[in-house]
């Protein structure tokens, strides 16, 4: 997984909290999580150009279709679509609340 180092966006704490949650939930099924940080000022990746396209979205099913087809132009015709699992509301994780819970737990130590 790649993370940017933009402190102003302050998202890395939420990613870290989610990874702690994932490790606890996977209960030994997860061997390695590799998180890499892009060098500050050099955060443009080839895949970024794919995300810059504008596609109108009118319903939730449109999002699923866009994610399934998320390929570069070079691989669009030859690669099979991604498998996208639709989540129920109960399967979603509130990373902000999770981050606060984990931060509180570690501050008490």
In the predicted structure, residue 51 carries a pLDDT above the cut 60? no
Half-sphere exposure of 7 (CA within 13 A, CB side): 1
Q: Which sequence spans correspond to the domains of the chain?
A: 2-107
The pTM of the full predicted model, rounded to 2 decimals, is: 0.54
In this prediction, residue 45 has a pLDDT band, given cuts at 50, 70 and 90, of: low
In the predicted structure, residue 109 carries a pLDDT above the cut 80? no
pLDDT of res. 53: 64
User: 55-79: per-residue pLDDT in tens?
Assistant: 788 988 888 888 888 776 677 778 8
What is the rounded CA–CA span in Å between residue 25 and residue 76? 34
**What tokens were used for 104?**
């509180």
What is the rounded CA–CA span in Å between residue 95 and residue 100? 9
What is the rounded CA–CA span in Å between residue 17 and residue 25? 12
Q: Residue 82: CB partners within 8 Å, gap ≥ 6?
A: 67, 68, 69, 70
Cα-only R_g, the chain: 17
Percent of the chain with pLDDT over 90: 4
In the predicted structure, residue 96 carries a pLDDT above the cut 80? yes
């Amino acid at each position: 997984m790649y993370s940017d180092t933009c402190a102003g966006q302050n998202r890395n704490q939420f990613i870290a909290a989610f990874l702690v949650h994932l490790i606890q939930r996977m209960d030994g099924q997860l061997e390695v999580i590799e998180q890499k940080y892009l060098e500050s000022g050099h955060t443009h990746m080839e895949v970024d150009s794919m995300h810059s396209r504008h596609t109108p979205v009118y319903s939730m099913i449109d999002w699923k279709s866009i994610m399934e087809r998320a390929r570069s132009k070079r691989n669009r015709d030859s690669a099979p679509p991604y498998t996208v699992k639709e989540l129920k509301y109960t399967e979603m994780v509130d990373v902000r609340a999770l981050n606060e819970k984990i931060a509180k737990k570690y501050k008490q130590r």
